[in-house]
Each structure stands twice: as C-alpha cells, then as structure tokens.
C-alpha cells in the first residue's frame, strides 16, 4: 500500500485523540508521513522498540496489537497446552506501558490464551523469573529500557525466561506478516477475560518468591552493614525490589532519592534515564554528599541495567560497565574459592565487545571464558546449552553496557541481583578499609591497565539505516591493514562468519551471523563496529591494554581520532 493510501486509511479509522491529533499535524509534511509509515516498527530478537506516535513505524496501540496478534498465532500453532500455560506480562513506568500491557492481554485472550499481568510496574528481570516460576509458555514486557521518554517497546521471552533467539522471533514475524489489516485485530475486554479465567492479576506472591531467590545471593558475612548507600530508581520499576532487597540484606543506612522514586514516564528529573550517563547521577550525588554515602546505585526504567558511583574524596567516580563487571567477576570468583564452591568446570560468559580484562581474571581462577554476540539473549542461550550438556558450570555473565547476571533463576541481565551483590562487595571492601576504586586499582596493578571506550553515531530514519549499512560495507570493501599506525593482525566479520589473519589464513566464526566487524591489532588493542539493534545508532567500540592509565588514554584517543 502506498504511503498516502496508508495515511488515508488511518485517517478514516477511529483513533485515540492523541494519535488523531498527531495524524492531522503531519498532513502536509511528506517527509514526516514517510517516516511514520514507510515500514512497520521492526521486530526481532530484541522485540520492538521505537518512538511513540501515530503510524506503522511508531509504537501505538495498533502496532502493539499487531505484535500481540503475531505472538498469539504463534502460541496457537504450538497447541492447547501452550495456550493454557499462557503468557506473563510485565511493564515499566513509561507512557502507555500499562495500557499496552493490558491491550496485549486483550488480544491474547481473544485467542483463548491465558495471561498473568502484573498489577504494578516490575523489572524486566522479574518478568524473566516469573515466566520460569509459573512455567508459562512465554513472557512479554512493555519497555524501552533506558531510551528517552519518547520511546516504548515490546519484548518477548520464551518459556526458559530468556529473550527470543532468531528462530522464535522469525516465527512470530511470519505470523505478523500474514495480518492483512491491523484495525481488524480482535481484542476482548478485561471484564470478559476475568470471567473466562483468561486474565490473572499477579503481584505480592511473586514478589516474595523473587525475594527468596535474591536472598540466596548472600554469601559473605565479612561486610560492613553500616556502609551508607544512596539508591535511585530513576523514576522506574526497580523501586520496590531494590529497596526491599537492600533492607533484607541487612543494610542499615540506605537513602532513597525521593524525587526519582516517583514512577513517572516523563522522567522529569533526568534528560535521559540511563545509568550509563553521568547526568543521571546528579541528584544521587547531591544526596550522597549530604549524607556522606560511600556508594551510589542507579537502575534504569525497567531495572535490567545498573550504574554505580563510588566516593572519591569530595566527589564520586562513576564506574564503567567493564570496570564493574571485572570487579564483580573477581569478587564472585574469590568468594567462591574461599567458600569452596568454585566449580572445576566454571565458565564466564561475555560479549565480543566487552573488555578482555574479565577473561584474564577468569583464567587466573581456572574459569573458562566463552564469548557471545552482543545481547544478553545469547548469554542466556549459552546458559541453557551448558545446563543440558553439563560441559560447563555458569559462574557469571556480563556485557559492557551495564548488564550482568549472577544467578540463573533469571535468564536476562538483572540490575536487582547486581545492586544487592555490589552493595555486599562494596561493604566487604569497606570492612577492609578500601573502596571499590582501591579494588579496581589492585586489578590493574595485577593484570595491566585495561581501558575501553564507546562512540555512538546517530542515524535517524530510513536514510540513516541505509547510511549505517553503507559504513560497514565500506570497511568490508577496503579492509585496513593498519589502524592508527598499528598493524591489524586479525579481522572478524560476523556477517560472513569468517575470521581472517594478517597472513591471509581464514577460519570460521562459530556464532550466529550479525552485521559486526572486529579488528584486532598487534598491540592487543581492538575495535568493533556494529549497528545497534534497538536504537538508530552505529556503535564503535575500542579496547586497549597498557602499563599505565596515561598510555591507555593516549591509545584510546588515537583510535577514536582514526574513526572520527
């Protein structure tokens, strides 16, 4: 259907008032009409995520119905047992998240599929836990993670509590593509669903079971429970489980950033609700300075990512995702070794764009490192694989973008687990008169100064998508032999699944295909380039290891300049 025809079709449908107003506002703007209607919001292994608004290329009640209908048909094709096992639905605090969650249940219910919907916003990792706990067939969480307030999204989880891998996502896409008219999708009322036993509201019982599992993370008695902690949920869904968890862990001086404890999808106190950004910590730092806190914790809106800041003199220093991952890995392995619980066939999982410091630490403890593609779904996939094969015993998994998983009762990154474990780790070092920064310096002294950086270039709209593809193809057509004056010794092309050495020797890459290029240099530096799967960005990752911070800073700067 041509763009103008699509626009006209939407004009003649009954739309919610805010969508009708938006549609009218773009009536004479051909570029805006194209951007809103040139495609359906893309759906994949990370679900779908996009701008809220009118049109097929926006997140709204109709595009939510379309993906819910695709999921419903997929479940129907899996049989009656799958329909009875049903779907768990959670949501964060974003605009329309609750409405989209209920709409999903209404569409599923029209197919006779049972839904278990949270009464209040809860974290994405708790959704993963609940799918496993209730033995549901699938899970849905309405969230756009750490994106700005203008975004929302829809993520699907399989019966193992992990995000869908490509085969599952492709099956849903196939059903979505068979939907002739999204305005004809049937949705039952919640009253009818409740009467038919197809809609169940959940909250307290599952909260308690999740907390019981969280408490199993406590495994170090040598901590200072009087350490002062500031926590901010950044207006998101981490509020209840993190604050309750810190209390249950025994911490006596926990201070909540009250302005950001208000669950508000406008995120009024932050420009960008991302704990990777220093600005997200502004109010936490203010409160930390007032109360003399040792540790600041921040979770993103759906509480799957955790940011950490540590007191450094009169101010606070934010840890990178790679730094916190290395600290957690070393602490967990050391604690298990002391407690006699470190498995002989332990494995640490990380992504191909995550620091190599973790691999070096793991090796010291006799733990194997296995790399995966970017995205926690691939880490979860490996956890499941090793449970069946018993080749390895999982000890930790993480990615540089502030995602970590400690215990596998959740199959996605879990900021709630990690907030509690980081508090325990910091309190362990506090009892020794150290901070996490001291502990990090000790790692650098032992293993070398590892430093990483990320540069994201934004490419909005249809033209932007084409530009990103052209960037990757340009590097493929003219592969560099040296970068910033250092020889390239290995090139990994994850789209062709071929790794090429500088001498021309090739070997297969035994990972799923993805549009990523990675260059390894003669001085052990590396660069990876990949389009984001959830944002209109092309990401450039850099990693170096040098004897000192000054040398690492210089090396990173050279790499950034080369790719500027």
Q: Which residues are catalytic?
A: 145
Asked whether the beta carbons of 138 and 71 are under 8 A apart, the reply is yes
Q: Would you give the distance in Å from CA 307 to the centre of its chain? A: 13
How many angstroms separate the Cα of 511 from the Cα of each of 54, 349, 381? 37, 14, 12
CB atoms within 10 A of CB 417: 26
> Collapsing DSSP states into helix, strand and coil, what is residue 235?
coil
**Residue 258 backbone zone (phi > 0: left; psi -120 to 50: alpha; other: beta):** alpha
Q: How many CB atoms lie within 10 A of CB 97?
A: 23
What tokens does 338 get?
């002391």
Query: 87: closest CA among 205, 203, 198, 193?
Result: 198
Q: Distance (Å, rounded) from C-alpha 425 to C-alpha 308?
A: 12
Task: Please state, in angstroms and rounded to a whole number, the distance separating the CA atoms of residues 164 and 159.
Answer: 9
DSSP three-state, residue 111: coil
Q: List Cα–Cα distances, 477 to 412, 470, 473, 489, 540, in angstroms.
A: 36, 10, 6, 18, 18
Q: Which residue has the tokens 């997200």?
A: 280
CA atoms of 140 and 71, how far apart (whole Å): 10
Backbone phi, psi, residue 420, to 5°:
-70, -40
Three-state DSSP class for residue 103: helix
User: Are the beta carbons of 90 and 177 closer than 8 angstroms?
Assistant: no
Among 303, 290, 210, 302, which residue's Cα sits nearest to residue 258? 290
Closest CA to 520 of 546, 558, 474, 482: 482
Inter-residue contact 217 to 407 (CB < 8 Å): yes
Q: What is the 3-state secondary structure (H, E, C) of 380-393?
A: HHHHHHHHHHCCCE
Write out the two tokens for 536.
């209109």
- Rounded to 10 deg, the angle between the 436-447 and 357-364 helix axes is 80
């Amino acid at each position: 259907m041509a763009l103008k025809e699509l626009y006209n079709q939407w004009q003649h449908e009954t739309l919610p008032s805010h969508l009708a107003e938006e549609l009218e506002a773009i009536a004479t703007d051909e570029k805006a009409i194209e951007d809103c209607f040139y495609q359906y919001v893309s759906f994949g292994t990370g679900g779908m995520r996009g701008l809220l608004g009118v049109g097929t290329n926006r997140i709204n009640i109709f595009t939510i119905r379309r993906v819910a209908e695709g999921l419903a048909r997929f479940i129907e094709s899996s049989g009656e047992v799958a329909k009875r096992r049903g779907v768990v639905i959670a949501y964060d605090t974003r605009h329309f998240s609750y409405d989209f969650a209920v709409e999903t249940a209404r569409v599923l219910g029209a197919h006779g599929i049972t839904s278990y919907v949270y009464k209040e916003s809860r974290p994405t990792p708790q959704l993963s836990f609940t799918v496993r706990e209730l033995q549901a067939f699938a899970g849905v969480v309405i969230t756009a993670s750490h994106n700005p307030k203008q975004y929302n999204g829809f993520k699907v989880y399989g019966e193992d509590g992990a995000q869908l891998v490509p085969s599952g996502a492709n099956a849903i896409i196939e059903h979505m593509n068979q939907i002739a008219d999204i305005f004809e999708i049937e949705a039952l009322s919640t009253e009818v669903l409740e009467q038919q036993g197809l809609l169940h509201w959940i909250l307290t019982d599952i909260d308690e079971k999740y907390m019981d599992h969280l408490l199993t993370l406590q495994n170090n008695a040598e901590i200072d429970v009087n350490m002062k902690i500031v926590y901010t949920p950044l207006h998101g869904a981490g509020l209840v489980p993190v604050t309750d968890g810190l209390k249950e862990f025994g911490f006596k001086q926990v201070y909540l950033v009250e302005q950001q404890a208000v669950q508000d999808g406008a995120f009024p106190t932050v420009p960008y609700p991302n704990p990777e950004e220093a600005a997200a910590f502004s109010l936490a730092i203010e409160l930390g300075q007032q109360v003399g806190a040792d540790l600041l914790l921040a979770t993103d809106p759906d509480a799957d990512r955790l940011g950490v800041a540590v007191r450094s003199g009169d101010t606070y220093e934010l840890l990178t995702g790679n730094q916190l991952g290395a600290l957690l890995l070393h602490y967990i392995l050391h604690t298990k070794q002391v407690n006699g619980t470190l498995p002989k066939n332990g494995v640490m999982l990380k992504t191909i764009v995550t620091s190599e410091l973790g691999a070096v630490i793991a090796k010291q403890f006799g733990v194997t490192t296995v790399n995966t593609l970017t995205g926690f779904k691939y880490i979860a996939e490996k956890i499941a694989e090793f449970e069946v094969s018993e080749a390895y015993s999982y000890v930790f998994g993480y990615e540089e973008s502030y995602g970590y998983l400690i215990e596998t009762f959740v199959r996605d990154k879990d900021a709630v687990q990690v907030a509690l474990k980081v508090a325990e780790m910091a309190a362990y070092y506090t009892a020794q008169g150290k901070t996490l920064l001291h502990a990090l310096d000790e790692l650098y002294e032992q293993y070398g100064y590892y430093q990483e950086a990320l540069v994201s270039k934004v490419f909005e709209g249809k033209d932007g998508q084409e530009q990103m593809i052209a960037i990757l193809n340009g590097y493929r057509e003219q592969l560099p032999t040296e970068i910033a004056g250092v020889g390239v010794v290995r090139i990994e092309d994850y789209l062709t699944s071929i790794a090429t050495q500088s001498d021309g020797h090739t070997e297969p890459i035994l990972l799923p295909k993805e549009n990523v290029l990675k260059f390894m240099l003669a001085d052990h530096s590396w660069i990876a380039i990949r389009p984001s799967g959830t944002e209109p960005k092309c990401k450039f990752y850099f990693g170096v290891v040098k004897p000192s911070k000054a040398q690492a800073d210089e090396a990173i700067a050279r790499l950034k300049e080369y790719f500027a």
